[in-house]
Structure 1
């Protein structure tokens, strides 16, 4: 097959090629128009070199299996696979077309990143790789060129899984002849050793962080057998914290058995969970007969409190830890309005929800999930909403079914049918139905918090359709 020209129609006219975007050692990618939905997509297939190899049929099958596996990796920081189809003799993967630039270009144009910004991106990428590893895949080519930054919020997204392969032996991931870029490839990739694992991507992710903070590429791993130890990140910039410097060096240990064996283990070295001090003892005068019980100490933190805009979520966390559900609900509205810059508008709309930073949305949701033992949170609501057939498009019947399920609608004995509750009639306790909270402070704040009827879900539906949750 020759390279598809602009205007070429694929999959019975569903897609039309607009431009060849480029390729690597494995595949080639095109920008195309989904003519049924009127949106731009990326289409990837095997490249010209692969097509002329004697084992092309076998490679085709591997490509198909990879595409099917990647389609299961639903994560906000992994390029989304929309569709898989066959065009003639060739398998094709239809993916999200990301509006933004790659990290390598961003670093070239803007220089190295601050530690705070770099760690925020690394957290996103680390969570994405953990999702990949759960599918028994490894990326094997993590590097700045394969990380896209969305224009919206500068969110990092992993792309180009051209080297990914399924596990074939005891949960370990087998190698083949392809190699990652030399500066980011660990020794087991460079030497084509037989077994790979999550620790392989740990090295590449640590090497990527090295580049992000120093604007220098680390020495290729084979060279480190001759010149080691290599230059530590802190030698380029003494503002890099000792913790981050040590975590990078540990993640880039030359031999895989000396590295953290999972991405999460490495992230815990890089971004430790905050230490929660015990509450001080409270003493009372001997003559005091009654007193208000001191608040329970906040539970040990298990959610990473991350914000793309520097929002402080301590008050929300404390309210949730104290089981003050209504105050926490209203605090949720307050912080969301502030993050979105809509405090004066006193409400969120579809556009502001779509642009709401991924880090902040996930932090808010995970705090609700953690302190309600999995009963409350936007992600809990999303699961129920989608189980009822809910999509991004508002459907009044689905919305009413959702309201019935989460307890936002109750039977009116006079009318003999279910009616929507007002905000102040919600059940602000752990006895409420699953996904009953948060209530959005009264539908994301458009009306008075305690005087709002919960009947309209036009602004709520886009929130429950976010891939971040």
Structure 2
């Protein structure tokens, strides 16, 4: 099989090869035009010229298994999507999402290292992807900057290359290939047989953060095992905070037992989540003492200029919040509510579906959620906002699980449901009955998620608010 040239038609004309992208291991990748859907895709296939006939069927089975593992992890906004498997002249091919952007290794080199805030933003996103993968019973085993691509427009991080991903059972000794990426693989990955767990990917994620902040490859674990100490990242970049420096070193401990045991625990050491263990039977232990909900509406007007002093209006997702700021400053509550809904669908790329599912809420970017909430809280002098709604929701006994009685109490308290009168059950008001006025009950706005998530949506939002320190 020769390398396809631009213009080559494959799969009965369904795909037209656009260009050769490169190769890695025994695989080769191309960009192609999907004639049916009129979009660019990536087609990955084996390269028989690099594999002996005796090994080909074994490698083909591994290739197919990689695609199956990846397919099981979809959909997730921070994991590359696989669309289908095809056969081309007897060779299996995998049709995947094309991500227009640079890998994180190239982006880091071009910028000579990243600022701490930006690096943590990407680590948080890939951490969420790994949590999703681990929940399905897989380890990625090859997390590194080269396997993370930043979408060109949104700078959203996406994890790729599941060639080394394997199923595992926590605490059990299993046999795995000892293939690895030096500098990012923990010491247990140098052995074919041993105990592997979430902490295996934690090491690689910490090593990735090391590289992003220092623009240096981490010292390989095999060298460190001989007694050579890992230079602290602060040695290369004094601007790294003490907390992040310590978290990276802990995440890259040679002994697996000394590392954070899960990605969520590691994210907590970085300050990206509040509590690595979420107790779904109790409200999230966020301190809301700094939030005050006025019992009576305040009459002082917030102007766009006063809001602008504290909040930025262009997120790393590429979303512009200036229109929302202006509508809120002018107290155009209805238009601001509609704009909030539009923006949240745009951030999650669910305009077509026109509603937010639990996964999109769980992975909603903290930066965008914080901007929206702060705009609402400031413009209403603490009366409206998602964080205000969460405080009220938790005061009604709300947890991360949907409960009808709690939801009814919450609805009555914020004015989305009529209260019970003379023993008669109150009814839920329609969205048309929303009170777009500062005199509305605290937490009444925004109502943007009310019609887009279902009744359990706020419990998911409450969880995400806690993760985002809101």
TM-score range, shorter chain: 0.5 to 0.7
State the match for 1:27 in structure 2.
Answer: 27
Residues 75 and 333 of structure 1, relative CA distance in 2, 3 Å threshold: same
Unmatched runs of 5 consecutive residues or more in structure 1: 283-290, 294-306, 314-326, 342-348, 377-406, 408-420, 441-469
Q: Tell me the secondary structure at the aligned position of residue 151 of structure 1.
A: coil
Which among 423, 426, 435 is matched to residue 432 of structure 2?
Answer: 423
Q: Tell me the secondary structure at the aligned position of residue 194 of structure 1.
A: strand
> 2: distance between equivalents of 1:147 and 1:105?
10
State the match for 2:465 in structure 1.
Answer: none
State the match for 1:125 in structure 2.
Answer: 126
Question: What is the CA-CA distance between 1:438 and the residue it aligns to?
Answer: 3.1
State the match for 1:185 in structure 2.
Answer: 185
> 2: distance between equivalents of 1:150 and 1:439?
29
Instruction: Kindly indicate whether the alpha-carbon contact (under 8 Å) linking 1:3 and 1:48 is maintained by their aligned counterparts in 2.
Output: no
State the match for 2:64 in structure 1.
Answer: 64
> 2: distance between equivalents of 1:339 and 1:168?
37
Instruction: Kindly indicate whether the alpha-carbon contact (under 8 Å) linking 2:43 and 2:95 is maintained by their aligned counterparts in 1.
Output: yes
TM-superposition CA deviations, 1:3-47 (whole Å, max 9, x none): 333333322221122222111114221111111111110011223
Instruction: Kindly indicate whether the alpha-carbon contact (under 8 Å) linking 1:165 and 1:173 is maintained by their aligned counterparts in 2.
Output: no
State the match for 1:236 in structure 2.
Answer: 236
Moved more, 115-124 or 145-154: 145-154
> 1: distance between equivalents of 2:175 and 2:369?
33
> 2: distance between equivalents of 1:58 and 1:328?
62
TM-superposition CA deviations, 1:123-159 (whole Å, max 9, x none): 0000011112222222221111111111112111111
> 2: distance between equivalents of 1:362 and 1:90?
45
> 1: distance between equivalents of 2:200 and 2:49?
26
Moved more, 186-195 or 224-233: 186-195
Instruction: Kindly indicate whether the alpha-carbon contact (under 8 Å) linking 2:174 and 2:193 is maintained by their aligned counterparts in 1.
Output: no
Residues 236 and 80 of structure 1, relative CA distance in 2, 3 Å threshold: same
Residues 104 and 253 of structure 1, relative CA distance in 2, 3 Å threshold: same
> 1: distance between equivalents of 2:159 and 2:72?
15
Q: Tell me the secondary structure at the aligned position of residue 153 of structure 1.
A: coil
Instruction: Kindly indicate whether the alpha-carbon contact (under 8 Å) linking 1:78 and 1:158 is maintained by their aligned counterparts in 2.
Output: yes
Residues 46 and 329 of structure 1, relative CA distance in 2, 3 Å threshold: farther
Instruction: Kindly indicate whether the alpha-carbon contact (under 8 Å) linking 2:172 and 2:196 is maintained by their aligned counterparts in 1.
Output: no
Q: Tell me the secondary structure at the aligned position of residue 245 of structure 2.
A: helix
Question: What is the CA-CA distance between 1:361 and the residue it aligns to?
Answer: 5.6
Question: What is the CA-CA distance between 1:328 and the residue it aligns to?
Answer: 9.8
TM-superposition CA deviations, 1:377-423 (whole Å, max 9, x none): xxxxxxxxxxxxxxxxxxxxxxxxxxxxxx9xxxxxxxxxxxxx773
CA RMSD of aligned residues (A): 4.5
Aligned counterparts, 1:86-125, within 5 A:
86-125=87-126
Q: Tell me the secondary structure at the aligned position of residue 100 of structure 1.
A: coil
State the match for 1:148 in structure 2.
Answer: 149
Residues 2 and 166 of structure 1, relative CA distance in 2, 3 Å threshold: farther
Q: Tell me the secondary structure at the aligned position of residue 54 of structure 1.
A: helix
Number of aligned pairs? 349
Instruction: Kindly indicate whether the alpha-carbon contact (under 8 Å) linking 1:26 and 1:163 is maintained by their aligned counterparts in 2.
Output: no
> 2: distance between equivalents of 1:56 and 1:4?
19
> 2: distance between equivalents of 1:6 and 1:278?
58
State the match for 2:85 in structure 1.
Answer: 84
- Using the size of structure 1 for normalisation, the TM-score is 0.63
Question: What is the CA-CA distance between 1:333 and the residue it aligns to?
Answer: 5.3
> 2: distance between equivalents of 1:57 and 1:169?
30
TM-superposition CA deviations, 1:234-258 (whole Å, max 9, x none): 2222321111111101110012222
Residues 65 and 112 of structure 1, relative CA distance in 2, 3 Å threshold: same
Q: Tell me the secondary structure at the aligned position of residue 271 of structure 1.
A: coil
Question: What is the CA-CA distance between 1:121 and the residue it aligns to?
Answer: 0.6
Instruction: Kindly indicate whether the alpha-carbon contact (under 8 Å) linking 2:178 and 2:189 is maintained by their aligned counterparts in 1.
Output: no
> 2: distance between equivalents of 1:176 and 1:340?
41
> 2: distance between equivalents of 1:279 and 1:221?
45
Instruction: Kindly indicate whether the alpha-carbon contact (under 8 Å) linking 2:168 and 2:197 is maintained by their aligned counterparts in 1.
Output: no
> 1: distance between equivalents of 2:83 and 2:4?
20
State the match for 1:161 in structure 2.
Answer: 162
State the match for 2:37 in structure 1.
Answer: 37
> 2: distance between equivalents of 1:213 and 1:11?
44
Instruction: Kindly indicate whether the alpha-carbon contact (under 8 Å) linking 1:121 and 1:155 is maintained by their aligned counterparts in 2.
Output: yes
TM-superposition CA deviations, 1:39-58 (whole Å, max 9, x none): 11001122336642524323
